[in-house]
Structure 1
């Protein structure tokens, strides 16, 4: 009889503990973080910064997914997060147009959406990030001021069709504003270092002289740098990229790269988490929270290397 009573008491204690654990889980504010690609250097830096920001609030639980640059996979992952009834979704869209069904489904489920870094072509969401045209504008302004007369340039585009690719190119073209400057070629390197290197190797064979390579991100710029160094063609060629990753900062310090546009991964992550905290408190979500781009050259690279 005593054994039966002890077992009953033990079961009661276990049931109470399970109930408490369930209640504790229920008390959490659960955020789904649908990442574009964990293989992307800048995207991962931003994700890491978001994790760091989230540590300040133990009542927030984050569920991570990685689409690996597959728009369809990302939509499936968002469907799964919606089915789990998360309290909010942070998404780094693979595609500006392709993410719309996911945003709209979250809207229908009453789940707030934060589009981080890249906007959505439709649906209701808060955009947290930087205006892509501003990155191109800063590159264009620098080249306008520093290119020699009758300069010849090459432009490495990001993945075709993406909004950030289009915005950065437009911002660059609008700001350059010099009819004497000739763009010899403009091809995609798909935001990839190896592809940027391959395109540049082909350009080296095709064009005996050019004054600058402007790239829509640092990975392509660094690939271009490798190609130019390998062919002993770096002298007299300016290289500009976007993101402000450590390899680019080191290249600028060494005098091998000319410029990068700092996209503040930590600033964007912190701003996104601030929106999450507001939602948790029941505050209305803002339409956007912008984090400005900043131009980095040899004159100010030291201050960014300390960050």
Structure 2
């Protein structure tokens, strides 16, 4: 009889514990974080910074997904987050146009959306990040001021068709505005260091002289740097990238790159989590929360060096 009572008591305790756990989980404010690609250096830096920011509120739980640069996969992941009935979704869109159905489905389900780093072409959401066209403008302004007369340049474009690739190129072209500057070629390196290196190797064979390579991100710029170093063609060639990654900052300090446009991963992550907290408190979320780009050159590079 005592044994039966002990078993019954143990079961009761287990059930009580189960309900307690469920109650704690129910008390959590659950955020779905749909990442563009965990393989991207800057994107991962921002994700890690978001994780750090979220530590300030133990009542927030984050469910992560990784689309690996696949827009269709990202839409499926957002569908799953909606089915889980998360309280909010932070999405780093693979594509400006492609993310729209996911944003609209979340709108219909009453789940607030924060588009981090890249905007959506439709639906209702809060944009947190930096305007990509501004990065291109900063690159164009720098080159306009520093290129020699009758300069010849090359442009490493981001993944074709993606909104941020188009915006960075447009901003650069709009700001350069120098009729004496000739663009020899514009080719994609798909935001990848190895591809940026391969394209630059081909350019080195095709063009006996050029004065600058402008890249839509630091990974491609660093690939171009490697190719130029290997061919002993770095002297006299300016290189510009976007993101302000540690490798790019170190290259500027060493005199190997001329510029990077700093995209503040930690600042964007912190701003996104501030919007999450507003939603959690029932406050209206803003239409956008901007974190400006910053141009890094030899004149201010020390400010961006990792301590």
TM-score normalised per structure 1: 0.99
Question: How far apart, CA to CA, are the structure 2 residues paired with 1:160 and 1:152?
Answer: 23
Residue 132 of structure 1: aligned partner: 132
Question: How far apart, CA to CA, are the structure 2 residues paired with 1:132 and 1:278?
Answer: 25
Secondary structure at the counterpart of residue 261 of structure 2: strand
Secondary structure at the counterpart of residue 43 of structure 1: helix
Secondary structure at the counterpart of residue 257 of structure 1: coil
| Pairs within 5 Å for 1:217-256 | 217-256=217-256
- Aligned-residue offset at 1:17: 1.3
- Aligned-residue offset at 1:272: 0.4
Residue 259 of structure 2: aligned partner: 259
Secondary structure at the counterpart of residue 292 of structure 2: coil
- Aligned-residue offset at 1:173: 0.7
Residue 53 of structure 1: aligned partner: 53
Deviation per residue, 1:29-74 (Å, 9 max, x gap): 0000000000000000000000000011100000000011111111
Question: How far apart, CA to CA, are the structure 1 residues paired with 2:287 and 2:220?
Answer: 32
Residue 72 of structure 1: aligned partner: 72
| Pairs within 5 Å for 1:70-149 | 70-149=70-149
Deviation per residue, 1:217-264 (Å, 9 max, x gap): 000000000111111110000000000001101111110000000000
Residue 212 of structure 1: aligned partner: 212
Deviation per residue, 1:173-208 (Å, 9 max, x gap): 111111111111111110000111111111111111
- Aligned-residue offset at 1:4: 2.1
- Aligned-residue offset at 1:11: 1.7
Question: How far apart, CA to CA, are the structure 2 residues paired with 1:120 and 1:47?
Answer: 19
Question: How far apart, CA to CA, are the structure 1 residues paired with 2:55 and 2:276?
Answer: 13
Question: How far apart, CA to CA, are the structure 2 residues paired with 1:185 and 1:70?
Answer: 28
Question: How far apart, CA to CA, are the structure 1 residues paired with 2:180 and 2:191?
Answer: 28
Question: How far apart, CA to CA, are the structure 2 residues paired with 1:21 and 1:28?
Answer: 11
Q: Does 1:290 align with 2:290?
A: yes
TM-score normalised per structure 2: 0.99
Is the 2:246–2:306 contact (alpha carbons within 8 Å) kept by the matching residues of 1? no
Unaligned runs of 5+ in 2: none
Quote the RMSD (CA, aligned, Å).
Answer: 0.8
Number of paired residues? 307
Question: How far apart, CA to CA, are the structure 2 residues paired with 1:222 and 1:22?
Answer: 49
| Pairs within 5 Å for 1:190-205 | 190-205=190-205
Question: How far apart, CA to CA, are the structure 1 residues paired with 2:21 and 2:306?
Answer: 43
Question: How far apart, CA to CA, are the structure 1 residues paired with 2:233 and 2:13?
Answer: 74
Secondary structure at the counterpart of residue 191 of structure 1: coil
Unaligned runs of 5+ in 1: none
Residue 179 of structure 1: aligned partner: 179
